[in-house]
């Protein structure tokens, strides 16, 4: 009897050990599932950047070209591993280089303006300085203009994120804005190329570019010139890509980002249209 009781006790202890082992296995299984869940490529409710995983990162040049030929895959890589300092420097530096190529033409245009159509807001005694400083002002604008555009896009998406209850870092939004607006930068480069071959002795020289103002008859001399100037296919292309990236981060439909972005862009154009200096001249 005592031996049988001992065997039962040992058997129960062994069964208990087995049950404990089963429980431990379940715990490990739950941990493994949790780890697998963490490894999924998902931004989550707070827009956290997913882990790198085993996917090799794209280089800066590949990302810039990728936004033109394969934007969805490129945006995935940007969201997964945000880094845009090199790209921003390259895009801005290239824009500055194109403006430097037409430095002399900008100066010639400014001197022609002083003689034939002096800006009314510039005092007569400052006209000579205005002409000399015009190329430097254009060069500064080549750097600050795009940077301000990126900042405004990132800020607007940040506001939309707050309204949607998402928490996304501003740095990640800035990455999406920089790479999303790559087509816009391409449009700026092409505008400089157009001006390189154009006659600087014309009133609208610094507005020359690829936009609806030069496709609509009489658009250049129209009061609606700033609005038509905003209808630039490369800029709209860039805003569309930035909207796709923003929607990806906020986990909302693209239209919920695209409508505010495009609306703000054309609102600013309307403000310029009805400002005192809204025409090309």
**Residues 213-242 pLDDT 10s:** 887 777 777 778 878 888 899 999 999 999
Residue 185 pLDDT exceeds 50: yes
pLDDT confidence of residue 160: 94
pLDDT for 245 beyond 90: yes
**pLDDT of 204:** 87
Question: Average pLDDT for residues 48-69, to the nearest whole number?
Answer: 79
pLDDT of residue 31: 43
Using 50, 70 and 90 to split pLDDT, how confident is the model at 110? very high
Decide: pTM greater than 0.85.
no
For the chain, give me the number of helices (H) and strands (E)?
Answer: 11, 0
Per-domain boundaries in the chain: 60-273
268 CB-contact burial (10 Å; exposed 0-12 / middle 13-18 / buried 19+): middle
Where residue 65 falls among pLDDT bands split at 50, 70, 90?
very high
Query: Is residue 189 exposed (0-12), middle (13-18) or buried (19+ Cβ within 10 Å)?
Result: middle
Return the pLDDT at 253.
94
Judged by average pLDDT, the poorest of 45-49, 52-56, 133-137, 168-172 is 45-49
Lowest mean pLDDT among 120-134, 156-170, 204-218: 204-218
Question: For position 30, what pLDDT does the model report?
Answer: 47
CA distances from 272 to 11, 119, 279, 280 (A): 88, 17, 8, 11
- Reported as a pLDDT band with limits 50, 70 and 90, residue 275 is low
The pLDDT, as a whole number, for residue 271 is: 82
In 29-99, where do the E strands start and end? Answer: none
Query: Tens digit of pLDDT for each residue in 8-39?
Result: 445 444 444 444 444 444 444 444 444 444 33
Q: What is the DSSP code (8-state) at residue 211?
A: S
């Amino acid at each position: 009897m005592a031996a049988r009781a001992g065997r039962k006790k040992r058997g129960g202890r062994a069964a208990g050990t087995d049950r404990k082992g089963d429980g431990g296995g379940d715990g490990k299984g739950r941990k493994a599932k949790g780890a697998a869940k963490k490894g999924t490529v998902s931004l989550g409710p707070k827009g956290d950047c997913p882990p790198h995983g085993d996917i090799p990162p794209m280089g800066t040049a590949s990302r810039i070209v990728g936004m033109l030929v394969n934007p969805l895959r490129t945006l995935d890589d940007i969201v997964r591993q945000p880094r845009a300092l090199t790209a921003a420097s390259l895009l801005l530096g290239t824009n500055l280089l194109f403006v430097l190529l037409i430095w002399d033409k900008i100066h010639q245009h400014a001197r022609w303006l002083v003689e034939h159509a002096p800006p009314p807001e510039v005092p007569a005694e400052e006209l000579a300085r205005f002409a000399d400083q015009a190329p430097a002002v254009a060069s500064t604008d080549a750097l600050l203009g795009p940077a301000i555009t990126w900042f405004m896009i990132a800020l607007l998406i940040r506001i939309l994120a707050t309204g949607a209850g998402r928490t996304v870092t501003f740095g990640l939004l800035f990455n999406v804005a920089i790479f999303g607006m790559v087509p816009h930068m391409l449009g700026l480069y092409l505008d400089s190329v157009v001006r390189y071959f154009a006659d600087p002795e014309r009133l609208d020289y610094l507005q020359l570019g690829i936009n609806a103002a030069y496709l609509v008859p009489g658009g250049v001399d129209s009061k609606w010139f700033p609005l038509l100037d905003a209808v630039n296919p490369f800029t709209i292309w860039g805003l569309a890509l930035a909207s796709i990236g923003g929607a990806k981060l906020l986990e909302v439909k693209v239209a919920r980002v695209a409508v505010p972005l495009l609306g703000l862009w054309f609102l600013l154009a309307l403000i310029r249209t009805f400002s005192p200096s809204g025409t090309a001249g």
